Structure 1
Amino acid sequence: MRVPRKVECENLLITELHYGPRDFGSTESQTQEDEMTRRETRFEKYEEYVMPLVAEFVGMLIFTFMHSMAAQSVPVIASAINDGFFVAIMVITIGHISGAHVNAAVTIAVTLAGGLRPIMAPLYILVQLAGSLAGAGLAAVAHGSPTGFFAVGAGHTVGQAVLTEIMMSLLLVFAVLQSAVDLGSPIAAFAIGFAIVIDIFIGARVSGASMNPSLSFGPAIVGGQWADYWVYWVGPIVGALIALVIHKFLLASRKNRCLLGNCGVTPMKPQDGGETSQQSPM
C-alpha cells in the first residue's frame, strides 16, 4: 500500500526535527558557548593579574619622572604639591585597577591587611622598581643629569632621618589603610595625597621625605647615590608595619579589626540548630 505524500512529508519533517538540524544546531550552540566562556576567562585573568601590574608600572614610571623633575625646585612646597597631588591623581585613575600603591611599603601593609593577594605582592614590588628605574632614567635624560635621589639633610643624623621616615610613613600608610582599604572611601585620594603633602613639609629637610622604597630606588640606581640608602627602605617599611598594627588591632572597622572584632573573618548565619561557622573572605 502506498503511503500518501502528505504522510511522507510529515515523516520527513519529523525525522529532520529529531535527528538533523536540532543535533547540529545544539553542537554549534555548545561550541559558541564554550568559546565565549574561554574568552571570558581570558578577559578575567588579564584584568585580575596583568592589568594591575601594568597600572603599577606606568604609575610608578610617571611618578618617579615627575618627582625627579620637581626635585630641582628650591621651595619645598613645589615637591610637596607635586608628589601629593600626583598620588591623589593615581588613586583616582588607577585605584580601581591596582589600588594605586606605587609604593613597596604600601604594598606590604595592604597585603598583610588582606587587601591584596599575597602572590601578587612581590610582582607589584618588582614592577614598581622597574617603573622607578625607567622614570628616573627618563628624568636624567630630560634634565641632563641624574636627579631626584634622596639624602640625609645637612645638620641631621642618620638616626633622625630614620625616625622621620618612620613617622611620615606611619601617617601615609595609616591614611591608606583607614580610608581606602577599610572604608573604601570615595575621597580616600585626598586623604592620601594630603598626607604626602604634610609629610614632605615636615620631613624634606631631614631625610628628603621619601616614605617610598620604590620611589627612592630608581634615582639611586641612575645617580649612583648609595649613601645611607638603607634608610629609605627600613624607615618606610617599619612605619608601614606600625600603621598596620594600629589599624588591624585597634582602629579598623569591626569586620577587619582583630581586637574585639572579626579580624577579616566573615561570620555565617547559624546552621543546624544554632551552631555558628565561619569562613575567610576571598
Structure 2
Amino acid sequence: MPPPSRAYVFGRPDEATHPDSMRATLAEFLSTFIFVFVGEGSILALDKMYPEEARYYRAMRASSLVTMALAHGLGLFAAISACINISGGHVNPAITLGALVGGRISLIRALYYWVAQLLGAIVASLLLRVVTGGMRPVGFYLASGVGELHGLLLEIILTFALVYVFYSTAVDPRRGSLGILAPLAIGLMLAANILIGGPFDGASMNPARAFGPALVGWRWRHHWIYWLGPLIGGGLAGLTYEFLMVPVEVPHHTHTPLAPEDY
C-alpha cells in the first residue's frame, strides 16, 4: 500500500527480502496475468468468431469495440480489486511510475512491480497461445492513416487520464471512503479510453499489456509507442496530482505558542 505521505526513498535495507514485498510482487504478477489474459483473450475470441473479417475493419465495428472495452474494463476492475489491499493495485508499469515520481512507492518496490507486471503479461500471452490452439496474440498496432506522432500523443493523453483517476481514488491520502470505488473507477476509465482510442491505436495505456502479446506473437512494429507514451503520460499524471492536487503537509508543533504582545 502507498505510504501516507510523500517520500522519495530507495527502500529500507530489508525491503528487498521482506515478506510484504514478496506478497505484493506476487499479487502484481497474478493480477497482471488476469488482466492480460482477459483483455488479449477477448481480442482472440473475436478473431475466432469472425475469422473472415480483416482485423482492422472488425475493430471499427461498434459491437466489437464495445466488447473489447467491456472485457478490458471488467478485467482491470477484478484484477485491481484482487490486489489493491496487498500491493496497491497497480497492474501497470505506467501507474507504478506515476506512484514512484509522486513519492508514494520506493524504488525497490517499483522495480519489483515492473518485473512482476511484465512476467504476468508474458505468462498470460503464452497460456493464451496454448489454450487457443496456437493463435498468435494480436497486441497493438496503429490503424491505417494514424501516424506515429499521433499514436504517441494519444497514448500519453489516455494514460494521463487513467493514472490521474488512479491517483485520485487509490493514492490520495484524503480519499476516505472513495477508495472503495477505486477499482471500479479505474476500470471504467480504461473502458472509456478504449472506446476513444481503440480504433486509432488500440489504446494500450500499459507497457506490460503491450509487451506480453508483442513478445509471444512477435509483433514489434511501432512497439516503442506503447512504452514511451504510457510512461510519459503516467509520470506526468503522478507529478500533476501529487504537486498540484495534494496539499502541502504542514508539520504539527508540540510546543505552546507564545501569547501575542500588547502594544
Normalised by the length of structure 1, the TM-score is 0.74
What do you get for the CA RMSD once the two structures are aligned? 1.9
The answer as to 2:241 corresponding to 1:267 is no
What do residues 39-71 of structure 1 show as CA deviations (whole Å, max 9, x unaligned)?
xx9xx932x111111111111112211111111
Structure 1 residue 148 displacement after superposition = 3.4
Query: What SS class does the counterpart of residue 200 from structure 2 fall into?
Result: coil
Which of 28, 44, 55 is the equivalent residue of 1:56?
A: 28
Q: Is 1:84 aligned with 2:103?
A: no
Q: Does 1:45 align with 2:18?
A: yes
> Does the Cα contact within 8 Å between 1:69 and 1:148 map onto a contact in 2?
no
1:128 equivalenced with 2:117 (yes/no): yes
Name 1:101's counterpart in structure 2.
90
CA contact (8 A) 2:77 2:183 kept: yes
On the 8 A contact 2:33/2:124 being kept in 1, the answer is yes
Q: Which residue of 1 aligns with 2:239?
A: 245
Q: Which moved more, 1:199-208 or 1:109-118?
A: 109-118
Paired with 2:163 and 2:151, the residues of 1 have a C-alpha distance of 18
Report the Cα distance in structure 1 between the residues aligned to 2:234 and 2:198, rounded to whole angstroms. Answer: 19
Gaps of 5+ in 2: 1-13, 47-57, 59-63, 259-263
Q: What does residue 227 of structure 2 align with?
A: 233
Q: Measure how far apart 1:117 and its partner are.
A: 2.1
1:169 is matched with 159
Deviation at 1:168, TM superposition (A): 0.5
User: Once superposed, which parts of structure 1, at least 4 consecutive aligned residues long, lie more than 2 Å away?
Assistant: 268-271
Q: Which AA in structure 1 matches 2:22?
A: V
1:68 and 2:40 correspond: yes
TM-score, with length taken from structure 2: 0.79
Are the equivalent residues in 1 in contact too, given 2:39–2:75 (CA < 8 A)? no
State percent identity of aligned pairs: 30
Residues 89-238 of structure 1: matches in 2 within 5 Å? 89-143=78-132, 144-182=134-172, 183=175, 185-238=179-232
How many residues end up aligned between the 2 structures? 221
Q: Which 5+ residue runs of structure 1 have no aligned equivalent?
A: 1-40, 255-260, 276-282
Higher relative contact order, structure no. (Cα contacts within 8 Å, ≥ 6 residues apart): 2
